[in-house]
Structure 1
Amino acid sequence: MRIKEYLADRIKLFIFYIVLMGVISAVMYLNGTIKISLGNIIYINSLGLTLFLLYLLYEYLPLKKYYGSISCLSKYKATEIINNLPKAKSHEQALWTKLLIRIDKEHGQRFQKLKEEKRESSEFVTTWVHEVKTPIAVSRLLIENSRDKFDSETLRSIEEEVDKIDNFVEKALYYSKIDDFSKDYFVTENNIEQIVKGVVKKNAKTFINKRITIKLMNLDVSISTDKKWLMFIIDQVLANALKYTDEGGKIIVSTETNSKEDVLIIEDNGIGIKEEDMKRVFDRGFTGYNGRNEYKSTGMGLYLAKKLAVKLGHDITVESVYGRYTRVKIRFPKLMDYFNVT
């Protein structure tokens, strides 16, 4: 900070000092009861001006050093500036330093969040590409081996692989919309039974191929939700139930209602989930013991279902006993303010 800049910042103080000394001098000169000569008044003003200038010099020198240190921060990297801030010399400087530290902290948190989201997106795309290549390769192999004649079994197999590709593409689509969710949802009153039946119909081939029976109970319940997003959530849960239930198994879909919430329950008698995996079933990319050892899994289905459910104001919980059953509950709280959805 140059002296010229410092004095310009103190212009109001100079004006105040001149007015103050002018008033004091006028009072002393015009006061008839006290005889003060003009020379004494000039002496008092000179002394006052000297002390005033000494005060300004005393204030200016530390400020010059402080602002000089601030100017030198331009030599540092952006990530090093906060750690090299000069020590505050006044309450005002302390407040500015505290504000800068807070801004830097929030900026760092936002940057870390963006970095994590980018990493997640990159990992998802990589996983998705590998997964979608498998049914494509299988379809090509089926076509190569059946060039002369396509029987019904071959066509059915190709159709299954195409359905897998469609499922992977759908997951990628919904994943890409998570951050802009608030721009693409419309909450209305919907009947759970109609939504569930639509999802069951979509997975009808899997039910038939694996000879899995499904039982629908007490589903005539109305809830406030976005139909499209809820169908995707239920589809992910039901697809998991079908994947981890052996041939000839059974899936039961029902609801429970109380004063606080409506609960959709999807229960299967499949292989269940190991206890050590229960806390991580909704983690992104987590496949668990079952996914790693017995079934091909991306670990994205329940992750997306949970994230979208929370954004809709719902929730998902899982109960399971390994080797016996898995019970997934989608909870719909009543009196929900959906305008707060982000």
Structure 2
Amino acid sequence: MSIGDYLKNQKLWLISNAIILIIINGILFSSASDNRHTSDILYMDLLIIIIQLFTIYYGYIKDKKKYEHVITSSIETLNKMNSSKGDYFIDLLLDASRKQQNKFLEIEEEYKKGINEIQDYTTQWVHDIKVNIAVCDLLLEEMEDKNSKDFRNQIEQIKFRVNHILHVTRANHYDKDLIAGEVDVCHLVRSAIKENALFFINKNIEINTDLDPFNVISDKRWIFYIFCQILNNSSKYTPEGGTLNISTKEDDYAYYVIIKDDGIGITKEDISRIFDKGFTGKNGKIGTKSTGMGLYYANKIAEKLSIGINAQSEEGEYTEFSIVFYKLSDYYNVSSVLL
């Protein structure tokens, strides 16, 4: 305790004494008749002030000793408790921490179990519905009705969406579903074109390719999924009779697959958000019912595989996607996921 702290605690007592001294002096000075009485009053004031200062000092020393005694006693008590019961308190805290951790683990396991059950059910549902779609395909082959073209287009849309939901259920656990190997990227591009061929044919979209083959170490199923999502996106927003150009290029750092259409394009306000979850933008509300999930999952998986996806667009002119396969990094990054 400092002297300043003590004076703050005694502030009311000091103020009251000062007021009393001022009142007494006022009365005495008003009744004094000569200089002798004035000097006596001043002498009396000096004595009172000295006595007050001594009292303050004595009180400060006394309270300081009490304060230090309390602090010392508290420290000694804590030291005794720590020395005698320290292990007990530590064990108590560790036991409480373990119980809390076990509780969280139980909740996490229940959550994982629920998610896995939903995933298993969704996967089974997708495989079951694929059987029905296959039967519809067989029936369509026997039909020559003028509406069969539209019917087949709808079937292909259903097939695409069913495959998409199957990939989405796997996407949240795709780090456990990766199979790294040598991938012929241009072969996967052509396979993705065939997968979406009917969408392009129905809109009479011309596809031009200029592909120089190259291989990377990655997972071909997920790369195929990325290409399918981007190509399907192009088929939606490219008008009747449009053109889609697919090419490759290479520099010292990476291989690039460039997919460029002459469709309706993307607004400047939307271009930076097209990979956001659930974002549809202006074009997603025109002419097609977009969920905003296809590009989100494509980009999410690409990031896990250390593949870059860049987009450029001019509204009303074109949209261009660049899929970037970085050299040397593919093997190490994909392998680290599998370890």
TM range (shorter): 0.5 to 0.7
Question: Whole-Å Cα distance in 2 between the matches of residues 317 and 241 of structure 1?
Answer: 15
Q: How many pairs are equivalent?
A: 235
Deviations 1:269-321 (A, max 9, x none): 10000111111100111111000233211111101110111111212111111
- In structure 2, the residue matched to 1:339 is 335
CA-based RMSD: 4.0
| AA matched with 2:181 | T
Indicate which of 316, 324, 329 corresponds to 2:317.
324
Matched, 1:273 2:294: no
Identity of aligned residues (%): 34
Question: Whole-Å Cα distance in 2 between the matches of residues 315 and 152 of structure 1?
Answer: 45
| AA matched with 1:280 | R
- In structure 2, the residue matched to 1:60 is 81
- In structure 2, the residue matched to 1:199 is 192
Matched, 1:173 2:173: no
Question: Whole-Å Cα distance in 1 between the matches of residues 227 and 214 of structure 2?
Answer: 15
| AA matched with 1:318 | A
Alignment of 1:97-176 (within 5 A): 151-176=144-169
| AA matched with 1:201 | K
TM-aligned CA deviation for residue 56 of structure 1: 6.1
- In structure 2, the residue matched to 1:299 is 292
Deviations 1:41-65 (A, max 9, x none): xxxxxxxxxxxxx95686339998x
Max radius of gyration: which structure? 2
Gap regions ≥5 residues in structure 2:
1-74
Relative to 1, partners in 2 of residues 1:316 and 1:158: Cα closer, same or farther, differing over 3 Å?
Answer: same
Task: Report if aligned partners of 1:212, 1:248 keep a CA contact under 8 Å in 2.
Answer: yes
Relative to 1, partners in 2 of residues 1:58 and 1:228: Cα closer, same or farther, differing over 3 Å?
Answer: closer
Task: Report if aligned partners of 2:156, 2:198 keep a CA contact under 8 Å in 1.
Answer: no
Relative to 1, partners in 2 of residues 1:61 and 1:204: Cα closer, same or farther, differing over 3 Å?
Answer: closer
TM-aligned CA deviation for residue 178 of structure 1: 1.5
Q: After alignment, is 266-275 or 286-295 more displaced?
A: 286-295
Query: So what's the TM-score if we normalise by structure 2?
Result: 0.59
TM-aligned CA deviation for residue 176 of structure 1: 0.8
Question: Whole-Å Cα distance in 1 between the matches of residues 314 and 320 of structure 2?
Answer: 9
Matched, 1:224 2:185: no
Task: Report if aligned partners of 2:313, 2:319 keep a CA contact under 8 Å in 1.
Answer: yes
| AA matched with 1:300 | M
Question: Whole-Å Cα distance in 2 between the matches of residues 229 and 328 of structure 1?
Answer: 17
Question: Whole-Å Cα distance in 2 between the matches of residues 317 and 157 of structure 1?
Answer: 33
Matched, 1:184 2:180: no
Query: So what's the TM-score if we normalise by structure 1?
Result: 0.58
Gap regions ≥5 residues in structure 1:
1-53, 72-92, 144-148
- Secondary structure of the 1:59 match is helix
Deviations 1:247-286 (A, max 9, x none): 1111111111111111111000100001111111001111
- Secondary structure of the 1:280 match is coil
- Secondary structure of the 1:161 match is helix
